[in-house]
Amino acid sequence: MSFSLSTNHDQVVDELIARYPTKMAACIPVLHLCQEQEGWVSPDIIQFVADRLDMSTSQVKGVVTFYTMYHQEKVAPNVVWVCRTLSCDLRGAKTIQEHLERRLGCGVGGTSRDGKVTLLKAECLAACGNAPMIQLNDEFHEHLDIAKLDRVLDELGVAPMPAELRTAPPVSSPSSAATAADQSEEE
């Protein structure tokens, strides 16, 4: 099964090529375009880009494997990137990640129980002043807390947290560990 771009997208490729003195320079934006259409970068896409830009497949594959934003495997229709670099971590990114993992029912790199969301960990997304934050598809959601995060997930149609996973809010002192309690955090 070979890959081809939609007519609209294919015109964009010509425009992209015209921007640069070499065809190869369009490689990164063209790969983005293909991924936008297909959801991931399949081996067929690598072949397509190589043919279209007069590159070898190994050159294109080298590019695809170098950059983190190309999905080399199929992902869910929605992708959540949670920033875990220092500024976000100081403001609660680990707590955000843990809440995501519990509610989605998957770890980083996995896909939610309902198949709607793939959860990935990001490095600094230049939103340090608005930490903690996630990127959901194209959009940044900043200044997060648990309630705001839950609203974002609700809008996406993600099922609420399973009752057995609901825990009490953690205490702030590092010396006394958060313990699971019957209280729901949504209360």
Partner 1 sequence: MADRDPILSDRFGTEESWTLPVAERLGAYKQARSALTGMPPEKVLEEVKAANIRGRGGAGFPAGVKWGFLPKDREVTYLVINADEGEPGTFKDRQIMEKDPHRLIEGCIIAMHAIRAHVTYIYVRCELVTSIRRLEAAIEDARKKGYLGKRPFGVDFEMDVHVHPGAGAYICGEETALLNSLEGKRGEPRLKPPFPAVIGAFGQPTIVNNVETIAAVPDVIDRGGKAWSDISLLPESFRDGGTRLYGVSGHVKNPGVFEAPVGITLRDLIYDLGGGMLHDDRPLKGVIPGGSSTPVIHPDHKVNAPKDDDPMHPWHGMSHLDVPMGVDTMRNIGTMLGTCCAIVMDSSVNMTEAARNLMKFYAHESCGQCTPCREGSGWLVDVLDQIASGKGTRADVDMLVDISNNMMGNTICALADGTAMPMLGFIRKYPEDFYSAVEQGMGENERLDAAVRRSLYAEAAE
CA distance 82 to 128: 13
Residue 115 or 129: the one with the smaller Cβ distance to partner 1 is 129
Distance of CA 39 to the CA centre of its chain: 12
Task: Judge whether 1 and 44 are in contact, CB under 8 Å.
Answer: yes
Residues that bind partner 1 (CB under 8 A): 19-22, 24-29, 31-32, 53, 55, 59, 62-63, 66-70, 81, 84-87, 89-96, 122-132, 135, 138-140, 144-148, 150, 169-175, 177-178, 185-187
CB of 161 to partner 1, least distance (A): 11
CA distances (Å), origin 7, targets 14, 55, 69, 122, 134: 11, 22, 24, 33, 33
CB of 105 to partner 1, least distance (A): 19
Which of 114, 186 has the CB closer to partner 1? 186
DSSP conformational letter for 111: B
The smaller minimum CB distance to partner 1, of residues 1 and 172, is found at 172
